[in-house]
Amino acid sequence: MKVEAGEYLIEVRNLNVFYGSFQALKDINLKLQAARITALIGPSGCGKSTFLRSLNRMNDLIDGARTEGEVFFEGKDIFSPETDLLELRRRVGMVFQRPNPFPLSIADNVTYGLRVHGQNDRAWLEERLYWSLQAVNLWDELKDRLKVNALELTGEQQQRLCLARLLALEPEVILMDEPCSALDPLATARIEDLMYELKKKYTIIIVTHNMQQAARVSDFTGYFLLGELVEFGETNEIFTKPKDPRTEDYITGRFG
């Protein structure tokens, strides 16, 4: 990794996102540190997911979405025309709210990203398959079922598999959009343990509705309300002495 742990990896400047005439994000400014977990909290429809999807330009897929401002990733603006979009998405991976493994075999799911990026050497693919499944603690469970369709796995296994699918590509950033909302509490706890482990090597940004989860796993927390980033800071400060009364209202459960 070029950027050391704790240094700034992503810098967001004056980011505005519009869906048609609706402004989903208002003038977001933010710096994110490498090898840390940043949690984004706030009520539904307040721009958390939109912000997350700006970072790997997934909003490009939405008809009528328009973006203003800059997002610097390792010092380069991802919205500049020189950006290699496919390479950006390889380096900034994403885990979705509902596990979405492809209806292919487990092995094909994990090696999918490598294959679309032109890597076809079988020995290398198998090595990455082993490594990636190890990294999400699935290898022992699934090593005899690599040819099985991924849709036959449990929800938790599917979500781990989606993570393995990313890790195979050696990304630098992992974006997680409420990755545990479809999982039971025990599975959630295990995924959180995994995030803690992954933090050593990857920069993780997680959107969550679950404030306990944000408090448990994250180093930094940002609070989004109606498209604005109301407050951003170290997690224990946000949760113990928030500066903005609106943040306090939310985390003490007065609304939301």
Question: What is the distance in angstroms between the CA of the first residue and the CA of the last residue of the chain?
Answer: 38
CB of 211 to other proteins, least distance (A): 26
3-class DSSP assignment, residue 205: strand
| Structural Rg of the chain based on CA atoms | 18
112 binds other proteins (CB under 8 A): yes
User: Site residues for other proteins, window 124-153 (CB under 8 A)?
Assistant: 149
Q: Residue 11 or 170: which CB sits closer to other proteins? A: 170
User: Site residues for other proteins, window 52-71 (CB under 8 A)?
Assistant: 56, 58, 61
117 binds other proteins (CB under 8 A): yes
102 binds other proteins (CB under 8 A): yes
Q: Residue 1 or 151: which CB sits closer to other proteins? A: 151
- Residue 149 CB neighbour total at 10 angstroms: 15
* Long-range pairs of 125-130 with CB within 8 A, sequence gap ≥ 24: 128/168, 129/168
Site string for other proteins, 156-195 (x = CB under 8 A): ------x--xx--x--------------------------
Q: Which stretch binds other proteins (CB under 8 A): 70-78, 109-117, 126-134, 229-237?
A: 109-117
CB of 118 to other proteins, least distance (A): 10
Token pair recorded at residue 13: 């400047």
113 binds other proteins (CB under 8 A): yes
CB of 173 to other proteins, least distance (A): 12
> Shortest CA distance to 167 belongs to which of 208, 138, 207?
138
Q: How far is CA 165 from CA 6, 13, 22, 81, 111, in A?
A: 26, 30, 34, 28, 7
DSSP letters, 92-147, are: EEEE-SS----SSBHHHHHHHHHHHTT---HHHHHHHHHHHHHHTT-HHHHTT-TT
Residues at the site binding other proteins, with contacts judged by CB under 8 A: 56, 58, 61, 85-90, 93-94, 96, 98, 100-104, 112-113, 115-117, 149, 162, 165-166, 169
